[in-house]
Every structure is written in structure tokens, then in C-alpha cells.
Structure 1
Amino acid sequence: MISFQQAQRLIEKNTPGPKRQTIRVADSLGYVIAEDVKTPFPLPQYDHSAMDGYVLRSRDINSASKKNPIFLKIAGALKAGDPPKFLPPKKAYRIMTGALIPRGGNAVLLKEEATVEGKDLVITKRVAPGAHIRLRGEELKKGAQVVFNGTVIHPAVAAILASLGKGKVQVFARPRVSVIATGSELIQAGTKLTRGKIYDSNSVMISSALRLLGVEPFLVKTVQDRPGILRKIVRKALRSSDLVILIGGISVGDYDYVKDILRGLGVRQIFWKVNQKPGKPIYFGKRRNVIVFGLPGNPASVFTCFYEYVYLAIRSMSGFVNPGLRTEKQKLSKAVASDRQKLVFLKAKVQPSQNGRAVTPLPHQGSHMISSLCDTNALVLIPPNGRGVKKGEKVVTHVLPFLAGG
């Protein structure tokens, strides 16, 4: 049996590196970019108006005042998208926000500051050169690096890529993941519940967790404790997946066939059992470049092991620089007991307190209990000292990805 830290290191060591693929920028949200992106042209590309108003030559109106107004003929109107034009001396164009500055023009008089008499613009004060003009390249020069390899693509990153004319982008591919829940007691939700049966919630939970990561499960199966059928499905998953998650059948019961089946299919065991609670009998193995997790079947164990171990592997394979859960030190809102020998993961809720944020362990901590998972947005790590942790002490807290405002 190994420690939590040893297990995470072994996962990091044995998880294959990310693959690359090229996808549409419009489909890239949440992916990690796998290239450095430089601007092929300056931003903005051209001088253009920052406001609605009138574009003019500032030197034409240097002597303008209320006592000595200067009249400029309005030669037309310019809107965003119009081709470049030339502004003759002693004239002005009506100009809209985003429109190109005509050659010869170098200042914009705001619409609300303008006086128009017929077809003449009446100027009673000078306008400084460059007023209300966004200059070519003022944001980025040509060749400037704007997006770095390893950046997570969020809406603004997608927008900058599109603004540079990129229709496609190279990203780190998300792994193909299969989910197999085992147990003759399991039936699908939506069917009639009979005596001795329970609904399969684990495969639904893990499939949902994968989708939250942007990973659409390649295969999701619920299989009875029948070695022949299970072996056939696991073989298919190993051939078609980058990562296989098996739920249940991994402990030492008479019907726990998973380890033997994996061994028979050529999966090399890297570890089995971690000194923790819940989720002690977690399994991790590898066959060529396919990694395999076996999660104990109790819901809290499945949840904990997924976020502490599988999450790490999936995000690493997806190219994330920091693939694990975010770690914080939070004050406990109440005292908790500890185990003398095992690291304990407590389902917990991080929430505002008088002095910032605090973490509250939730009721129903049993590994078979699922209701408290609905309120769980963090996992608290209680070290094996037998002394417990007092109220107000700071504890290591792993923040789950769906913590509101986290």
C-alpha cells in the first residue's frame, strides 16, 4: 500500500503526454493551445475612428475660435467597412466609429461637439492631431506574440485568434475515455427497480464529470459480474481508448474480477491500494499507451478517486500545465476527528465567512452515501495523526472545478 503523494507521482510518471490536433477556432473553447501565435499584421490594421463625429485636417482649423469660426464643406459620410478614401483640404467627412481615417485626415471632432449649418461643418475651436483616432499598431505590432503554447482557450482567447484571421488552431487533443461500471446489482435509471437491485449512479456521475472537462466518453457500459462479458468489453475499451475507467469489482470479494481480467489482457499493475479513506482499493495500470483506473464502487470513493487521480491524468493528457485540483489552505468551521493510520478525504463545502472563506465538512461522510456530494465543492485532507483538527485550524483543501466563484 502506498501513500497519496506516491500514487499521484506514479500517475504523473506513467501518464502519456498529450497529442496534438488541429480544430476550428469556433470549436476550441476549453482546449489548451499547442502553438505560439504571433500577429501577422499590426492591431489595429489601419487608423480608424474611435467615435462618431467628423474627420478633418487639424491644420485647416488651427486659427478657429468663436469669434473666427472656420467652415469646412462636408464631403460625405464614412462608415465601418467602407474602402479607404482621400480627404481634400478644407473639407470634412461625417465618420462613424470603426470607419477608416481617410488619407489626409488626422483628427476627429466629436458629433456632440459639432455644429452643422446646411452642408458646412462650423469649427469654433482647434482639434488636436490624433484626437479620437485609434492608430495602426497601437495595440500590437506585427509579429508580436499574443497567445502562448499552453494557454487555455477561453472566449477572449478565441476572439483574439479570430481577430488575427485564424480559422483553425493547433490544440492538445482530449483523450478518448471509456467508462465501465460493474455489478450484477446495477440497473439503468428509468427502468423498474426490483428487490436486490440499485440504480447505476456511478457511471452517470463519471460521465457527467468527464463532460464537465470537455471529454465526451467514447464508451459507457454497465456490466454484470460475468467475467466473459466483462473481459470482452474491457478488451474493446483497451483497443479504442486512451484511458479506461472501471468502477467496482476491484477489491477482494468473490466477484471482484477486474484485476484478474486486466492482468489477462496485458495490463501492467502500477499500484493497487492507497493509504486513504475513502477509496483505499484504487487500482492504476497501463498497457502500452493506454492507462487504466479501477475505482472502488461506493459513490464517495468513486467521486474522491476520480477528482484526486483520474482528473489529474485526464488534464495532463489534455495539455494543462497545472493538471491537478487547486490547493488552498482554509480554516475549518468545526472540529473534526482524524484516523490514526489513513489520510482521510472529507466531503466539504467552501463558503464565505466573516474573515474571507472557510470550509465546512458535510454530514453523511460514509463512502456509500451520495446525498452530501450534491453540496460538495471541495475535498479536505485530514492527515493520519489520531489527534484530529480543531475548529479554526487551517487544513489542506482541494477545490473542485465547479466551486462557484472559485
Structure 2
Amino acid sequence: MADGCACDRHAHMYLTVSEALTRGLAVADPVTGTETLPLIDAIGRVLAEDCTSKVDMPTFDNSAMDGYAVRTADLGDGPMFNLPVAGRVAAGDSGAHDAPAGSALRIFTGAPVPADFDAVLMQEDCDATADGIRFDRRPKPGQHIRRAGEDLKAGTPILRRGCEITAREAAALASAGYGEVKVSRKIKVTIFSTGSELRQPGEALGPGQIYNSNRYMLRALLDKPWIELTDRGPVEDNPDRLEKVLREACDTSDLIVTTGGVSVGDEDHMPRLFAEIGGQPDVMKVAMKPGKPIMFGRRGNGLYVGLPGNPVSAYVTWQIIGSHMMARRAGLHHAPHTPEQAVLAEPLERRAGRQEYRPVVIEGTSPDGTPRLRLMAPSYSGRVALLAQADGLAIIPAETETLPQGHGLQFLRF
């Protein structure tokens, strides 16, 4: 850890990542408005109500095994037991039967256990005879029977509002009897990239021009079932044109995300333009690497997030701050990204001052199964291809100058 002064001499002028995120979340209130959808159409959306089970789970006593249902009271003292098999019960049957006392029923996994049968023998524990089964181990009452409600009782909470309905949530809702659910409306998001130098992939590049990678990065990051996306493409550095597009986006969107134009250069128009159309901009310098300049603010219903133009900086800033603001705006209650613990595969030396998000490659695991991280090039802020080759981002605290091999640190997996 740092104990000297070889740190960024301007770092004290910056906000910490935590401070910047707190300020961003403070203006990112959740959208209002819900709709009720069939469960099949609600997959991927944000749940807008707390849900309790409508039924006991399971809804009836059922067999946990393929085998034979028996009445333990019918069994003698052994040591060998012989029972005739009087019928069969499969999944989907009613469970009604007319099996006489002292008989067994062939039963299959998930089939209802008839009311007067109190144990299930696994078929592997039985030998078939000419008219029934033989076994030498007395079953205990309740053996291999899943009782009604043992997983969940009707009325028990299963999901809280604000969760994304993915595979696990959809399965729980279906099992609990939900044919339809209430979800938050989709949030309306508009994106555009600023810069007269931008060209689309496939076009010829002229002097001073670059391909617009930010557009495609944002399209991928915002490809969510709970987002209604409008892509305004690249917008040249013309203040009148930028103001028109920005005003229209604020009038029609819940969230506006742009890249470029948020720093202090002559062609960085976004803070001034946002203020001129009635917005309340908050331009921050954040003690993070890469990143540093980020802007956000509100105008009416529109929440504006301005990311740096550098693609790697834009990606990291979005992941660390912007995505959390968007999740809150959408009504999601969980964090988009949760760090995990990892260890360094090699020593680290760096200049302290800003919290760093260094691309890393997983290079095996430590003896306890923790990922071992190999740090990629220390100069990476403009290297999009390097980011694409990484397995995630190591989180290096601002005050850290050196760390030995094997030292623990947090890691955001891609």
C-alpha cells in the first residue's frame, strides 16, 4: 500500500468513485408506470410487484423416486417382505386407487402418493417376483415422499419487486402459479456519439477520421428486454445540431447516453448545451483510471449521462457508474456488477492517486480456487482490442502503489 507521495498531485481535486456514484444515483429515480403481461412475455423484464406463492409447492404429496408405494403398517416383522403389486401410479394421475391391504403400487417420480400409502421404496432396493416385489429393508414412514408444501407454503414470499425476470425467476413464478405478472414499463433510452471525426465501420477513412466504436459498444450494453432504445448515431461537433438532437432526446427519453464532448476543450459542447436547454449539468472529474470526466444531469423527465469519448474510458465509466444509474432508473434493485475476490499472478507497481480498473486475464486459480489474474499492459486507455481480449477488470485502490504476487484484490468479471 502507498506510504509515500508518488501519487497524482491533482487527485485531491477529484471525486472518489464512491462519491461520484452516490451523486449519480441521487438523480436517477425509478420510472413510474407498469403493465401486466403474460408470464411468457414478461421474461427479461423488471418485476413491479412483490410475489407470494399462490399454491403449496409441491401442491400434493408425490414420489421422489421411481419405485413402489407401500403402507408401512401392512408390513410384518421381516426379515424378508413380499408384497403383490396391485396397480401403478404415474405423473399426472389422480392418485386414486383400489389397492387392497397388504399390497404395493408401482409408482414413478413426481406421481401423487395415494393418501393411505406412507412410504416409497426405490426400485433398486426391490426384487421383482412373479406377482409382486420382495425386499429385506423395512422403509420408514415418509421415506422418498415429497410432502405438499415442504418446499414452499401458499402465501410465502418468493420474489421482491425490482428483480429482473431471468430463468430462475421465471421458473419460480411459473411454479407458484403466476400466469401473468406486473412489470415496470420499458425505459426509453436514446444514445448518440459526438464528434465530426466519426465514421461508420465499412466506410473509407479520411485524414483525421476514426471508426465509431462507441455506438456499437453502447448498442451491445443496452440490448436489454426492459429497454426501448433509440439510436441517433453519430452527431457532428456542430452546436446547433447537437442542441437539437439533445433537446429532442430529453423530451422523449427517460435516459440519454452520449459519448464524447464532456471535457473542457473548445469542441466539448455538451455541458454548455445541456445547461442552455434547461438542464442541470453536473460535470465531474472522478479519481478513476481510465475515465475521469463524466457528466450527468436532469432535464424534465430525461436523465442525461455523458461519457468520455475514448472507447475504453467510456466502457469502464459506464460499467462502474452509468450502468448503476440506468439500473436504478429502470427500477432494478440489484447491482449490475458484483466484484469477486481474486489474487495477483505477478507483482504490481503503479502510480497511486486514482482508483484503477486494469484489464486482466485469468491465468489459472490459486490452491483455494480463487482466480489468478495476469495484469495486461499498464497503458491501455485507447486500446479497445486489449479490452476485448481481457477476462475482466482488476480493481486497484487509489492509494495502492505496489502489491506482491499472490496479493488479494477485487475483480469484475466480463
**Interval containing the TM-score (normalised by the shorter chain):** 0.7 to 0.9
Residue 290 (structure 1) aligns with: 302
Q: Whole-Å Cα distance in 2 between the matches of residues 177 and 241 of structure 1?
A: 6
- Is 1:26 the counterpart of 2:37 in the alignment? no
Residue 381 (structure 2) aligns with: 367
Contact conserved, 1:365 with 1:372, CA < 8 A, in 2?
A: no
Q: Which residue of 389, 400, 403 maps to 2:402?
A: 389
Letter of the 1:374 partner, please give it: A
Contact conserved, 1:364 with 1:372, CA < 8 A, in 2?
A: no
Q: CA deviation at 1:329?
A: 6.8
Contact conserved, 1:64 with 1:70, CA < 8 A, in 2?
A: no
Residue 65 (structure 2) aligns with: 51
Q: CA deviation at 1:284?
A: 1.4
Q: CA deviation at 1:3?
A: 0.8
Q: Which residue of 218, 221, 244 maps to 1:209?
A: 221
The alignment yields a C-alpha RMSD, in angstroms, of 3.2
Q: Which runs of 5+ in 2 are unaligned?
A: 1-12
1:45-80 deviation line (CA, Å, top 9, x unaligned): 1122222233343333335654xx6553x4433211
Residue 177 (structure 1) aligns with: 189
Kindly report which structure 2 residues correspond to 1:125-164, keeping only aligned pairs within 5 A, or say none. Answer: 126-151=138-163, 153-164=165-176
Q: Which residue of 76, 84, 87 maps to 2:87?
A: 76
Contact conserved, 1:334 with 1:390, CA < 8 A, in 2?
A: yes
Residue 54 (structure 2) aligns with: 40
1:329-383 deviation line (CA, Å, top 9, x unaligned): 76553333315xx525342216345464454442162533322212341153452
Residue 8 (structure 1) aligns with: 21
Letter of the 2:20 partner, please give it: A
Contact conserved, 1:308 with 1:324, CA < 8 A, in 2?
A: no
Q: Which residue of 252, 271, 284 maps to 1:259?
A: 271
Q: Whole-Å Cα distance in 2 between the matches of residues 379 and 70 of structure 1?
A: 65
1:172-211 deviation line (CA, Å, top 9, x unaligned): 5553221110111111112233333211001111221222
Kindly report which structure 2 residues correspond to 1:212-291, keeping only aligned pairs within 5 A, or say none. Answer: 215=227, 217-291=229-303
Kindly report which structure 2 residues correspond to 1:346-357, keeping only aligned pairs within 5 A, or say none. Answer: 346-349=357-360, 351=362, 352=364, 354=366, 356-357=370-371
Contact conserved, 2:94 with 2:112, CA < 8 A, in 1?
A: yes
- SS in structure 2 at match of 1:41: coil
Decide whether aligned partners of structure 1 residues 329 and 76 sit closer, same or farther in structure 2, where only a CA change above 3 A counts: closer
After the TM superposition, which of the residue ranges 23-32 and 254-263 deviates more from structure 2? 23-32
Residue 326 (structure 1) aligns with: 338
Residue 412 (structure 2) aligns with: 400
Q: Whole-Å Cα distance in 1 between the matches of residues 338 and 175 of structure 2?
A: 32
Decide whether aligned partners of structure 1 residues 335 and 42 sit closer, same or farther in structure 2, where only a CA change above 3 A counts: closer
- SS in structure 2 at match of 1:138: coil
Decide whether aligned partners of structure 1 residues 296 and 267 sit closer, same or farther in structure 2, where only a CA change above 3 A counts: same
Residue 10 (structure 2) aligns with: none
After the TM superposition, which of the residue ranges 102-111 and 163-172 deviates more from structure 2? 102-111
Residue 129 (structure 2) aligns with: 116
- SS in structure 1 at match of 2:383: coil
- SS in structure 1 at match of 2:129: strand
Q: Whole-Å Cα distance in 2 between the matches of residues 305 and 52 of structure 1?
A: 54
After the TM superposition, which of the residue ranges 157-166 and 20-29 deviates more from structure 2? 20-29
After the TM superposition, which of the residue ranges 12-21 and 355-364 deviates more from structure 2? 355-364
* Percent identity for Structure 1 against Structure 2: 31
- SS in structure 2 at match of 1:55: strand
Letter of the 1:162 partner, please give it: A
Q: Which residue of 389, 392, 395 maps to 1:380?
A: 395
Alignment size in residue pairs: 392
Q: Whole-Å Cα distance in 2 between the matches of residues 313 and 44 of structure 1?
A: 39
| TM-score (normalizing by structure 1) | 0.83
Decide whether aligned partners of structure 1 residues 6 and 50 sit closer, same or farther in structure 2, where only a CA change above 3 A counts: closer
Contact conserved, 1:65 with 1:123, CA < 8 A, in 2?
A: no
